[in-house]
A = this chain, B = another copy of it.
Amino acid sequence: MTALERLQAELGTHVSVDPAELAATRTDKSGWVAPGMPLAIVHAASARHVQATLRIAAEDRIPVITRGAGTGLAGGACGTNGSIVLSLARMNRIVLIRPEDELAVVEPGVLNGDLNAALAAHGLWFAPDPASRAISTVGGNIATNAGGLLCAKYGVTREAVLALTVVLADGSLLKTGRATVKGVTGYDLTALLTGSEGTLGVIVEATVRARAVPAGETVTIGAVFPDVAQAAAASALVTAARLRPAVMELIDPVALALIVAYLGPELTDGVPTGGAFLLVQTDGPASQAEAQQAVAVLRGAGGEVRVSSDAASADRLLAVRRAAHPALAAHGEVLIEDVCVPRSRLADMFGRIAEISARTGIPIPTVAHAGDGNLHPNFVIPVDPHRGNAEPVVPEAVWAAAGELFRAALELGGTLTGEHGVGQLKRRWLAEELGDQSFALQRQIKAVFDPLGILNPGTMFEV
């Protein structure tokens, strides 16, 4: 029997070879489309299904691409030619919530937003907060060590993962970590697996930490600065004042102009088109006092500042940031880059982006999680009407400009990906950031977990 026949024999209707369904797995929210066509998609409903899939794949050395909701931004979960796409989207149960231990046990396909809705009943929340949280899965958040808007204050996903159950490349089951606040028995495989992008194992269950919802009211502040350098300097001053806002988002003038044009003036609370926009939110019991301090810092730094007086005015300020992606997407396919630099180098990085944009003639509208030093320079690829439904292709000139961005970030002490992951799209720069020593070690670790190289080949490392 072929591998496909064995899959069908063991997993029955959980296996699909429907061409439209297979084709849909070839892409993610990066817009990249894997060449060729996957062999099959397995809609796993249990760890047993995942084990059977891996066992059968290992027998014939067939690549397995683990996929959740397909919201990735680095091409790390796209069905490649001849692969088995292992979808965990149907493994979406919240197994249990233990409020007394401030934790939840979930299957990987549960949506971040659904988990948060369930936790809210207990005064708890799951802190990882990627912009995609309404549509992205907890398993995907863990596989990419997702970031988001709240990381400087509330940490990245890694800090929220206590224990994992993982199916290894040979179909066996591995348990890591524990349901305790502390625990140092052996190496931290939980942390090693977090952010490993499906290349070391398949997460089939996760024990995640929940936090008490912060007391107090959230205060939202919007500030407009003449240019991005001044806005970046202002965000640095907020950090230097030892304030820790929950959110600190920066929008550069190129992006802001597109957003204001997209929303119209009445929806943007009169935010002017020229200039850079800084959005700050304070939360917790001292949110009002912290907001006052932040306002003073921002005004002192030359910002034209407005503070939310109620939920509606806060929403209008937030809407500016929320509209960033749709405003860009109205003009073409958006390639979102994801560099991160030390916070003190944020203004420098914006300077490098402006310089690369001016030199190459490619507009690079940029938004940033300024509190983290994490910038998303965007490239908008106009969709060619003559190509019809064909896949969008990122021009090499854009990749060349992106490569320059990555190198600039590395020179400033940063990284080529703050939160999206390496995926297929950034692996060509991986060794450059890691250095030869680390790169070689990482490949050896990969070989320990996946000696046949069947787990998500092409993601992170060249095949």
Contact = CB atoms under 8 A, between A and B. Distances in A.
Interface of A: 98-103, 123-124, 144-145, 147, 151-152, 155-156, 158-159, 168, 172-176, 178-189, 191-192, 194-196, 200, 212-213, 215-216, 236, 239-240, 242-244, 284-286, 289, 340-344, 369, 371-374, 413-422, 426, 430, 433-435, 437-439, 441-442, 444-446, 448-449, 460
A421 B184 contact: yes
A263 to B, nearest CB: 28
Contacts of A216: 286
Contacts of A289: 285
Contact of A176 (B100, B179, B187, B438): B438
A172 B123 contact: no
A437 B373 contact: no
Which of A180, A372, A373 has the most B CB atoms < 10 Å from its CB? A180
Nearest to A124: B242
Contact of A442 (B187, B212, B239): B187
Given A102-B343, A151-B182, 8 more contacts: A155-B155, A181-B372, A182-B418, A183-B415, A183-B418, A188-B195, A212-B242, A285-B289
Contact of A343 (B101, B176, B416): B101
A102 to B, nearest CB: 7
Given A181-B372, A212-B244, A342-B179, A442 B186 contact: yes
A313 to B, nearest CB: 24
28 contacts: A99-B240, A100-B344, A103-B342, A147-B184, A155-B159, A156-B182, A168-B437, A172-B437, A175-B437, A178-B340, A179-B413, A179-B414, A180-B341, A180-B342, A180-B413, A181-B340, A181-B418, A182-B415, A182-B419, A184-B415, A184-B421, A185-B417, A186-B430, A186-B434, A186-B439, A187-B200, A286-B286, A441-B448
B191 A192 contact: yes
A236 B101 CA distance: 9
Nearest to A244: B212
Contact of A187 (B99, B179, B445): B445
Counting every copy of the chain, the complex holds 2
A106 B124 CA distance: 36
Main secondary structure of the interface of A (DSSP, over half): loop
B151 A181 contact: yes
B180 A372 contact: yes
A189 B442 contact: yes
Which of A172, A419, A445 has the most B CB atoms < 10 Å from its CB? A445
Nearest to A432: B185
B286 A181 contact: no
Contacts of A178: 340, 413-415
A432 B447 CA distance: 25
A102 B445 CA distance: 31
B460 A186 contact: yes
A100 B340 contact: no
A404 B188 CA distance: 25
A188 B434 CA distance: 11
Contact of A418 (B98, B184, B437): B184
A289 B216 CA distance: 12
Contact of A448 (B144, B435, B444): B444
A420 B185 CA distance: 9
